[in-house]
Amino acid sequence: MSNSSRADGRTPNQLRPISFEANIAPHATGSVLVSFGHTRVICGATIEARVPGWMRAQNVSGGWLTAEYSMLPYSTHDRKQRDSSRGKLDGRSVEIQRLIGRSLRAVIDLQKLGQHTLWLDCDVLQADGGTRTASITGAYIAARLAVQTLLDSGKLKENPIKDSIGAVSVGIVDGVALLDLPYTEDRDAEVDANIVMTGGGQFVEVQSSGEESTFSPDQLTAMLGLATGGLKEIAALQTAFLTKQLLGNIGSLGSLGS
């Protein structure tokens, strides 16, 4: 592979085109359709005025956040069987929804959320690599829109979101470190990684593994450098989109890491 171009014409450090469309699910408290190239995920945030039974039983203060992730049957070239028809979640879905939940809890003050549960539902409409990273990036926006709804109605007194959160994939393909891999690159990658970072530049999670291969410290450093640059761009896109959606009410946005 050339150091300067890829199959889709991007340079190694270039993100796919990213876009957000708000209010894609009108009955959710906040929602967004997030697109990373041909990967498209519907992220819905629903806030309920109750907490899980285990919190009530143990007198745990504050609120809770939980996430669910699924791939719609037609999101891939070959129809994917629904987890509900199989009678259980597959291991990959469980892993990803736990990752989404951990990522969002890293930037949300559950005490300030009060006696509420924030549900994040991420449904993959079209899969072309990076569905988990797109889900995290979109789930943050959906959560921020949902929280604003409660702030505007007076049901929350303070914004519980401390910072933005985003995620992106990186990898080594033909010996070259690449940012934001589509499926064809992800399939052929010698090394595959997913990086989650706050808008303020703090890592939340670094998932990296060799696919029947190993990688050097220099290659890991190169991947982290690509991810850091890409995630700064993603944080800026999130901030710009939310500022527009919230009618320029910058004061109410809180810390977005821009």
Annotated binding site: 92, 130-132
Task: Tell which residue, 41, 64, 67, 40, has the closest CA to residue 53.
Answer: 64
**What is the distance between the alpha carbons of residues 245 and 59, in angstroms, rounded to a whole number?**
37
Binding residues for phosphate: 92, 130-132
Q: Compute, in degrees rounded to 10, the torsion defined by CA atoms 10, 14, 16, 20.
A: -150
Radius of gyration of the chain (CA): 18
Per DSSP, helices labelled H in 58-158 are 83-86, 91-105, 110-113, 131-153
Structure tokens at 189: 């990658």
**What is the distance between the alpha carbons of residues 159 and 149, in angstroms, rounded to a whole number?**
11
**What is the distance between the alpha carbons of residues 131 and 206, in angstroms, rounded to a whole number?**
16
**What is the distance between the alpha carbons of residues 46 and 60, in angstroms, rounded to a whole number?**
21
The answer to whether the beta carbons of residues 191 and 132 sit under 8 Å apart is: no
